[in-house]
Amino acid sequence: MAGHSFMRPEHYSLLERSYGLGWIRTQLPGEVGAMGLNPWLARMPVAHHSRLAIYHQGNLPGATSAVYLFPETRSGVVVLANAYGLSDAPDWISQLIMDTLFETNSTTDYVKLTEDAVREFQRSRSETVRDIDSMRGTSPSGMQALATYVGRFENAGGSFVVDVFVESGALKLAFQGLGEEVFPLEHLHGEVFTWFTSIRDLAQHGRQIFPAPHYLIRFHRNSMGKVVSLEWAHNGTTSGGEFFVKDYAAWPASWLGLSVLSTSVAGYFAVSRLRIMLGWSKN
């Protein structure tokens, strides 16, 4: 269950801090706010009041929240915000109110913590832009005719698709084939493209800002030069991404021309071919 909690590894502790069903249970004194954005941006303060805390945090583009419950005193703190700021403001506010509620005489400087978090957030955003800019090639070498990239790319579980198409002479993609999820695909180098536009545009699409790998799309071709899949590190990792196979229904004709790119890629292709053989391909 910890894999769904967004908690950093150093926050796992069975007796003092645990997670389940969207809530974190923490025995204080200790750090709180483990589910939010702030632990990634600043050194978290220690809540010195000695009691049990059960809390939940929400972080989405356009909304953030913090809900803290204290069963022993039958009290709680709830802070909601209709914006996604440069740090997790509802969490800082909640912790300040908690210090006041339990009269801990805390010396924590929440203004300084917020300023530190904002600086780190801005540095991280700038790094994402800088990393993508550094990948841009000086010439379009490596990019093939736009039409060769066009198609529907589906993950092995059939739960997510990426449509790639040409519009007004430019390559674009649509996540889940949705019109509101359309982004331009800009060539960087070789078979690598980016769908990163700008911080403001991504925010208007309701998307958070992640490290550069999240915005990269790498196409793979078979031995006949046909695009057969794309790779997308949607979780932002630098060790590779998930493979999305192009047009399942076309696989019987192109299978013999496939060159094995890697063990993991071959596994995805095998699953795709099995889907076709079992009659699961799209009409």
Domain ranges of the chain: 2-132, 144-277
Average pLDDT for residues 156-176, to the nearest whole number?
94
Q: Are the C-beta atoms of 98 and 47 separated by less than 8 Å? A: yes
Mean pLDDT (the chain, rounded): 82
Instruction: Give the range among 6-15, 123-132, 138-147, 181-190 with minimum mean pLDDT.
Output: 6-15
pLDDT at position 207 over 90: no
146: nearest Cα among 166, 162, 163: 166
Average pLDDT for residues 189-201, to the nearest whole number?
89
Spatial distance between the Cα atoms of 26 and 108, rounded to a whole number of angstroms = 19
Instruction: Give the range among 85-89, 156-160, 207-211, 252-256 with minimum mean pLDDT.
Output: 252-256
Question: Is the domain defined by 144-277 classed in CATH 2.40.128.50?
Answer: yes
Spatial distance between the Cα atoms of 230 and 153, rounded to a whole number of angstroms = 7
Please report which confidence band the pLDDT of residue 236 belongs to, taking 50, 70 and 90 as the band edges.
low
Per-residue pLDDT at 210? 85
pLDDT at position 217 over 90: yes
pLDDT at position 268 over 60: no
b/e map of 126-148 (b: 16 or more CB within 10 Å)? eebeeebeeeeeeeeeebeebee
pLDDT at position 281 over 60: no
Per-residue pLDDT at 266? 46
* Alpha-carbon torsion (239, 244, 246, 249), positive or negative: positive
pLDDT at position 233 over 50: yes
Task: Name residue 272's amino acid.
Answer: S
Per-residue pLDDT at 259? 41
Rg (CA), the chain: 23
pLDDT at position 92 over 80: yes
| Own/partner pairs, 27-31, CB within 8 angstroms, 24+ separation | 27/52, 27/53, 28/52, 28/53
Strand ranges for 17-160 from DSSP E: 17-20, 23-27, 52-60, 63-70, 75-81, 151-155
pLDDT at position 44 over 70: yes
Share of the chain above pLDDT 90, in %: 49
Listed in sequence order, the DSSP H helices in 174-248 are 199-204
Per-residue pLDDT at 262? 41
46: nearest Cα among 117, 88, 107: 107
Q: Phi, psi (5° rounding) for residue 209?
A: -100, 125
Which is more confidently placed, 101 or 138? Answer: 101
Per-residue pLDDT at 208? 79
- Both tokens of 133, joined, read 């800019």
Please report which confidence band the pLDDT of residue 182 belongs to, taking 50, 70 and 90 as the band edges.
very high
Per-residue pLDDT at 99? 93
**Is the model's pTM score more than 0.75?**
no
Instruction: Give the range among 147-156, 168-177, 246-255, 269-278 with minimum mean pLDDT.
Output: 269-278
Per-residue pLDDT at 139? 54
Spatial distance between the Cα atoms of 33 and 88, rounded to a whole number of angstroms = 9
Please report which confidence band the pLDDT of residue 118 belongs to, taking 50, 70 and 90 as the band edges.
very high
